Amino acid sequence: MPRLAPAVLIAGVRLRTRTSLLVLLLAAGCQSSAPAPAPSASPPSTGPIASPADTPAARAAALAAKLPDEDLVGQVLMPYAYGSSATDVTPGNKAGNRQLAGVDTPAEMVARYRLGGLILVGFSADDPTSQNQGTTNVDNAPQVRGLTTGLQAAHAKLAAGSAPLLIGTDQEFGVVTRIKTGVTALPSAMGAGAAGDPALTEAAWRAAGTELAALGVNVDFAPVADVLGNAGSTVIGSRSYGSDPTQVSAQVAGAVRGLQGGGVAATLKHFPGHGHTSGDSHNALPGLVQSRAGLDRGDLPPFVAGMGAGAKLVMSGHLDVRAIDPGTPATFSRKVLTDLLRGQLGFKGVVITDGMNMAPAKRWPAGVAAVRALNAGNDILLMPDKLPEAYNGLLSGLRVGDLSRSRLVEAVTRVLTLKFELAGQAAPDMSTVGSAAHRDAAARLAAAAVTQLRGACGTALRGPVQVTAAGGRDTARGWLVDALRAAGVQVVESGGTVVHLVGYGDEAGDLRKGAAVTVAMDTPYLLAKSDSPVLLATYSSSQPSMAGLAAVLAGKAPAKGRSPVPVTGLPRSSCAPQAG
């Protein structure tokens, strides 16, 4: 083993190489002009200072040291389950749980496998991650709160029950949004990147974190820290804050501060970066062909910035990092997770895999894959393929020596430390969910994101206006119609000036020839093929985004955004002073 350089601690991240120091400086430099983070809403503690034995880390180590093997193994597993209730499920969901884990209900799954965590899942037509989501159990805010309460009750009966169950979900906003009904909708990451103001991002994500905490969700698999390359990775797309590592770093750090300020652990994904790929890691192993210097320059800065902001988790990606460990998915690479992430970048938190039911992780049997992932440096296995096999494979590996007890205890100690840290925060009241203050934070970010890429600025539509949309986008179209009418614009069903909406997955054939205005509600790349004299982008089809768009179309607000990715033949903005 080569000798590591002396550690350097900057912005909370311990660095062990000059290269990693350069990465942090690149990431931190982008934030020098950003507003300082908002002060915590929590008052300073007036109680006695905890003794070393009372710290989350000390409590975690003590508990991990006395857990039996079966409980140690369960603490590193985070599967999904069927059913919108912990204990009362439909016959169909019961059948799904029987097939998945040999149990009837989510609560029984927690009990049988001594689970340390569970992921809440769901999908929609516009979700590029829906391929590994086997069910939906996030119907609305009250239902989610009831489900998480029941899951915590089941976990409290376990040997590790003094620490809470980790309950996670992919609440990225934009196309990957699990909980949609009754919560405040934020614009996509790319929309935040277009707004270009980390303070707005932090405020909006603080609102989101507060609401998730109120629902009983304590881990969010967000923000996406991937930097988009020129190819514009379709599976990442608008889930990314943009193509500039410096600007993405500032946005990621803001999102982390906001989310964790709201009481929910943030997860940086997909390490070491999925944006410079053309493949989809759900069904293949994408290759990262950058040199190590290219990774340091173009992919790692947002992860380093997020760690500096205090992110509690990092998600390992199913990515072939050819400059470091060619042919091995990063999820299973000790060189990527232990040597780079832990050793060189100094990350001390929890490392969680991307879905173990995705194709690159299924090249090995579930039990073998579980052992390999732990040995590489992961602490939690997300959505293990064939839960009983993964559980028994870890137990077997522990007993035959393929998985050392010290490595498993190390992982469990990190997991329990995170749990005890989260346990010290009181859950917000449900009245905060969808509150006026939270809606305002989302609206300010969405309004700042609206970007004009072609056409004279500040010219209001005089009506009558006809709003059309590519297939399946009636909800967003309805929101825009309502917002335009509220702004005083006459909207008709036919014959007016056409405003045409396109979104995720749309192609050139979904554009409307002759439309006066074309609006991209996802990545803006398709606008390069539009003949409309006015081109706008919201990067998101959420209700706040449609309200922000309506204000621009009605001439009541400027289009202040700037595209965070290059679009062929178009400026970053045809309105903003820095366009080009």
Determine the Cα–Cα distance for residues 329 and 320; give it in Å rounded to an integer.
Answer: 5
CA separation for the pair 193, 349 (Å, rounded): 26
Spatial neighbors of 397 by CB under 8 A, at least 6 apart, are 367, 370, 371, 374, 403
Single out the residue of 523, 44, 539 nearest to residue 237, CA to CA.
523
d(CA 334, CA 40): 37
Q: Could you tell me how many residues make up the chain?
A: 580
Tell whether omega for the bond before 56 is within 30 degrees of 0, i.e. cis: no
Asked if residues 285 and 235 have their Cβ atoms less than 8 Å apart, the reply is no
- Rounded to the nearest 5°, which phi and psi values hold at 422? -70, -30
Helix (H, G, I), strand (E, B) or coil at 514: coil
In 204-232, which positions are buried (b, 16+ CB within 10 angstroms) versus exposed (e)? bbbbbbbbbbbbbbbbbbbbbbbbbbeeb
Rounded Cα distance between 31 and 20, Å, is: 17
For residue 408, which amino acid is it? Answer: L
Please state the φ and ψ torsions of residue 451, each to the nearest 5 degrees: -120, 135
Handedness of CA 154, 160, 164, 166 (dihedral sign): negative
Torsions phi, psi of 136, nearest 5?
-130, 125
Calpha distance 249→261 (Å, rounded): 18
Is 316 strand, coil or helix? strand
543-566 burial, b at 16+ Cβ within 10 Å, e below that, comes to bbbbbbbbbbbbeebbbbbbbbbb
- Residue 95 CA, chain-centre distance (Å), reads 30
Q: Where are the beta strands (DSSP E) in 328-430?
A: 350-353, 381-382
Whether the Cβ atoms of residue 11 and residue 28 lie closer than 8 Å to each other? yes
Residue 404 amino acid letter: S
Of 194, 199, 257, 195, residue with least CA distance to 223: 257
Residue 170's nearest CA partner among 349, 354, 319 is: 354
The number of beta carbons lying within 10 Å of the beta carbon of residue 56 is 18
How large is the angle between the packed helices 198-215 and 436-449, nearest 10 degrees? 140
- Looking at the annotation, which residues are catalytic? 282, 354
Tokens of 457: 């600025």
